[in-house]
Structure 1
């Protein structure tokens, strides 16, 4: 019990501090660009784009490294890449700094995939909703840590380089703890000990559920990012943009807790995805169109709440599919994160084109809200694990 608790804490905090480093870097953009004497919005976006590119490519590569290195070394390798972000504090030019962000991004991409086989190996089916719900909040936790502490860290440590070093040192400590407490385990065996056929990326590409899952999440991810990137640019918005991010994070924390309780109490997953997806889109639409500030803030909270309630059910659903094992779950989530970010990137590009063509950023905001309905739509495509299990049990039962 102690070992798996320590391992879960390390897995969660490793990704949370990766997220903190990512967001803190974005928050210190002006300081970093000033240090390197770089100007222009395009140059600034490369810091974020580097990590996004790394996540898209890295997620797909993660399963291969897991197979070659084994769980313990693969996660350690991912952690080393995150810690390597410290190099960014010492490089002398901006392109090299962007490269260090790319390297760190690969580490984060690997970690978010590897946490799934680790969870599947150490935790029972009854524990999965709680652990998956907690892990689903890791990025949001890192985001919150960055918002709360980046300013004070910058004031106390003096330079953005020292902030980068400080966060990287914590990530290094987590790596050391991982090496002490972690162990390798079999990737192709299920919980019942039965050996399964190896499941590679080629198998994953042929499996429809591996496309439906990222489609479900992609619109939600796009809408979430749009709250920070697009909504602040909307003029005459009833809710002040500077408060939206805080409201969304607070709502996300509450929604995550409720999502864990719901996933723990009910065995069905699809209804949670369907109704949460519908309510999220409805409240986001009301938030965008109302002229009443109180209604806008209330709907912003409710939209954020229903954005995070289904996350535990969404990420737990693949674990409960028949024949799932640590190796297969790694491929499932490698595709989940990579395809989600590919679709989100395309949607963000389309959104920008819409704003440029129409001259109205509000249309882009509406587009983001409409796209959030992918979760609702995908709920009619995704399998219900509890029903599949009932069919499988009935098929396995001896004829009377």
Structure 2
């Protein structure tokens, strides 16, 4: 196997295991709260809030660590923070446990930003849609691992602490592999005609670039709707089928959508049409999912919503990599802003949904709001630049 393929496996699994630890922790909330003798929904939310806060801050400072440490050490440091989530298994009180999740959240925030400079450095433009599609599905894969394995792991390992330790041990093995196969590489762009290195792309440059605000806007609504399926929908009893079933269907469909998205991005040269119409279809099927009274229609709609949610993700992640003059340093800044701003908007939208539900006394309005917000992907395609290029077909000269 080529070294770059091993590197891709390591970075994919590192983030997938981070996601697995995050979701598994949420699934074991009752056991964890009982262990620390903590009560209340607000207290329980701190386990997720700590990771969300870490991702918002961590995404922004990830670029600084990359420049200071270099790619090899920066990703190793990020992986070490993910492994440090194991400290939660030894925490003597609930605040220390929450702090361990905060540390792990920083690791996950760094890892997802470092995906892109690693991909840009090691893979050709022709290879990137496949790799981007896989990396976009890393969190979903970890989510699926958690849903499928957490129950059996608790039974086999005996406690929630051992489950967290077990996931961290596998993450540590990946860290060791990374250290021995990775290398540092140049973050700046190629030299110009006179042999000078291109000027570094800074956060100041990133803030001035409109595309760096449009990209997180495009994704934020999808992110909010996706998280709402797990955070808000379980509180709503009026769906045709249980929210847990809808969530499982969407996750499975997302895995199928990821594969289709990779194929489509490879075969179809333009990015915006795929993002536009898949985004519109996702919003439409999600709306049907929460409004229908038919279990069969709700199930089919959940599958199609999950499918069309993940089909355009490869294009969304590939688009900024195809911007003119792209290099590992610039793509790091772009995705540092992308993930941080996306989570800031998602957090604000989630709070707004809660306020709307409280003020109206109707929790269902939160689901409607979440689905409506998913239209951000569709809307953004009318303002984002098209980076894909149609292939020109040569025409044979006419015979005399």
Task: Give, in angstroms, the shift of residue 232 of structure 1.
Answer: 2.0
- Quickly say closer, same or farther: Cα 1:294–1:150, change in 2 above 3 A: same
Task: Give, in angstroms, the shift of residue 236 of structure 1.
Answer: 2.4
1:150 corresponding residue in structure 2: 150
Structure 1: distance between partners of 2:378 and 2:30: 39
The 8 Å contact of residues 269 and 389 in structure 2, kept in 1 or not, is answered as no
2:132 corresponding residue in structure 1: 132
The 8 Å contact of residues 285 and 302 in structure 2, kept in 1 or not, is answered as yes
1:368 corresponding residue in structure 2: 370
Structure 2: distance between partners of 1:292 and 1:86: 44
Task: Give, in angstroms, the shift of residue 195 of structure 1.
Answer: 3.6
1:382 corresponding residue in structure 2: 384
1:41 corresponding residue in structure 2: 41
Structure 2: distance between partners of 1:169 and 1:136: 24
Matches within 5 A, 1:1-400: 2-190=2-190, 195-386=197-388
Structure 1: distance between partners of 2:190 and 2:244: 47
Structure 2: distance between partners of 1:217 and 1:387: 23
- Quickly say closer, same or farther: Cα 1:191–1:16, change in 2 above 3 A: farther
Task: Give, in angstroms, the shift of residue 157 of structure 1.
Answer: 0.7
Q: TM-score, normalised by structure 1?
A: 0.95
Could you report, residue by residue, the CA deviation over 1:300-323 in whole angstroms, capped at 9, with x for unpaired residues?
A: 111111000000000000000001
- Quickly say closer, same or farther: Cα 1:162–1:191, change in 2 above 3 A: farther
The 8 Å contact of residues 269 and 391 in structure 2, kept in 1 or not, is answered as no
Structure 2: distance between partners of 1:190 and 1:29: 49
The 8 Å contact of residues 321 and 388 in structure 1, kept in 2 or not, is answered as no
The 8 Å contact of residues 216 and 376 in structure 1, kept in 2 or not, is answered as yes
Structure 2: distance between partners of 1:6 and 1:256: 20
Could you report, residue by residue, the CA deviation over 1:335-394 in whole angstroms, capped at 9, with x for unpaired residues?
A: 11000000000000000000001111111111011100000000011000136999xxxx
SS across alignment from 1:386: coil
Could you report, residue by residue, the CA deviation over 1:70-114 in whole angstroms, capped at 9, with x for unpaired residues?
A: 000000000010111111111201101101100000000000001
The 8 Å contact of residues 201 and 331 in structure 1, kept in 2 or not, is answered as yes
SS across alignment from 2:126: helix
SS across alignment from 1:385: coil
Task: Give, in angstroms, the shift of residue 2 of structure 1.
Answer: 1.3
Specify every segment of 5 or more residues in structure 2 that has no aligned partner in the other structure, as ranges. Answer: 393-400
Task: Give, in angstroms, the shift of residue 242 of structure 1.
Answer: 2.1
Q: TM-score, normalised by structure 2?
A: 0.95
For the aligned residues, what is the CA RMSD?
1.7
Regions of 4+ moved over 6 Å: 191-194
Specify every segment of 5 or more residues in structure 1 that has no aligned partner in the other structure, as ranges. Answer: 391-400
